[in-house]
Structure formats: structure tokens, C-alpha cells
Amino acid sequence: MVTYNLNREVPWFFQHIENYYHLFLNIRFNNRNIIREQIEFSIELDIKGFEGILFYMYKPHSTKIRFDLYKHSIDQVHMINNLKYVLDKEPINSLDFVIIPFGYFKDEHQFRLIVHNEKIESSYDIYSWAPSNLYKNVKSVIRIDNRYMELIPIDDYRGFYFQVESSFKGNETSRLFDLINHLVELDKSISEVTKKSMFDPMDSSIKSLVAKTNEYLFELCHNPVPLDIKNLLRELERLKFNIDSLSKEEVFNWLDDLIAFYSRRE
């Protein structure tokens, strides 16, 4: 059974990323005027002791999914700007924001988050999720008792910061392609009620995500790599240089073929 250390419903994205280590940021906006309006905000993300790629995703409103990637060095600060969210006519509006790390955490790591908005007060809680990997290669009905764990800020001579438990790891960078494939499937989702697409078209965003993934993985691959990985990187380079001339279906088919081929070689 999967359990959650949350006093609320499970976040909307959980069913899509249950098998990824991720951070769940629950942001609350104080809508004092109780009006429906779109606001802009930004997130300052300061992570020390992590190297790899950071993926974020959230829903500005019910039919739109927004996501992007950042390549992260050991002591880098990212400002995620131009984020938008549509407030409902409620005094408190809650936004679920997920960050998925692909890479490696050092034992001594720390991170800080600041939500910036000039017009509306905000606060947040942050939780970590570590998937059940014990039986990942075995078809079994056995489940490990997992839960979202709230991260409590540490206050010492370095100031306020967060740390994840030792059981929390960065995801393997190769799993970015599985995530992209899942976004492709989400893009095809049809509502059983309206018989229309559940979300606004994501094809251009997914194309951009593919191009950034290729670029960042090349930049991270400085060390000697096995021949199979070199061949995979060459294929990704071909895709990178041809992506502007390919249709959405051709890009997705290319990725499907790569995943299928290299999965058989494991």
C-alpha cells in the first residue's frame, strides 16, 4: 500500500511520476480580494551539492501543463521566471509544483526555495518522494509502504535550508526519455466526458524539451562512456540537428525507436 504524509488529496501529477524520485512543492497564494485572475510569480532555486538536470512541471490552470529543464552545476542558483497561475474565487489557492532531479546528490547538500510575487502573499510546504525500487524488475503484488515526507527546514550557522533523506536519490539521466514519452501520451489524452483533448496542445513544448535534453546530456557526458552509449548519443545528435524539420509524430517515433532498441540491449 502507498501512503502519504499529507493532510490533503494526492497531487494531480502523482500517478504520472510515482516511479521517479521527486520533490513536491505545495504553494499557497492568499487571494484576499477573492477574485479570479491570472498572476505571475517566480521561484528562486538554490541547490548546493547536486549535479545534473532539473525538470519542473505544474498546471497554470486545469487544461494546461507547463514544464521545462535546467542543467545544474554543483553550486548554481536558478531563477524560474514568468510562471503563471490562474486564481480561483477562493481566499486560499493551492498550486502543486513538482521538481524531478536527474543526476547525483552529494552527502553534504542543501537547497533553498523562495517564491517571489509582488502582489500576493504566498507560503509553501515541500515534500520528498522516494519510489519503491526493491521490486522494480519483478512482477509482484508486494508493495513497500511509501509516503510523501515533509521536509522541515534546518536552521544553523549556514541559515535556513532543506536537506533530503539519504534514501532520496537523483534519477538516472536516461530516464528523461521515459518521462518525455509519458508527456507524449498525456498530450493525446481525451476526456471521457467531453470527448475532447484534456490538455492544451503540448507538441511545441515537448519538441523544446527533446532539444534541451539532447543538449544537456551531451554537455554532461565528458567522461569516457561505453560504445552503446556513444552510439545512442550520436543518434540523439542526429535528432537534435533534424528536429526543426520533423513533424511531432516523426520526433515521437524516433524517440520510441531509440527507447525500444536500447531497452532490448540491457
- Which DSSP category does 157 fall into? T
Q: Which helix (H) or strand (E) holds 114?
A: strand 92-116
What is the number of residues in the chain?
266
- pLDDT-based confidence at residue 1 (cuts at 50, 70, 90): very low
Q: Which three cell numbers stand for residue 214?
A: 539532447
Domain boundaries, the chain: 14-171, 175-264
How many other C-beta atoms can be found within 10 angstroms of the C-beta atom of residue 243? 16
pLDDT digits (tens, 9 = 90+) for 209-257: 999 998 888 777 654 444 455 566 667 777 777 777 778 777 777 777 7
Whole-model pTM over 0.85: no
57: Cβ contacts below 8 Å, ≥ 6 apart: 13, 65, 66, 67, 97, 98, 100
Is the four-CA dihedral 23, 148, 150, 133 of positive or negative sign?
Answer: negative
- Gyration radius of the chain's alpha carbons: 19
pLDDT digits (tens, 9 = 90+) for 2-55: 434 566 678 889 888 999 999 999 999 998 877 788 999 999 999 888 888 999
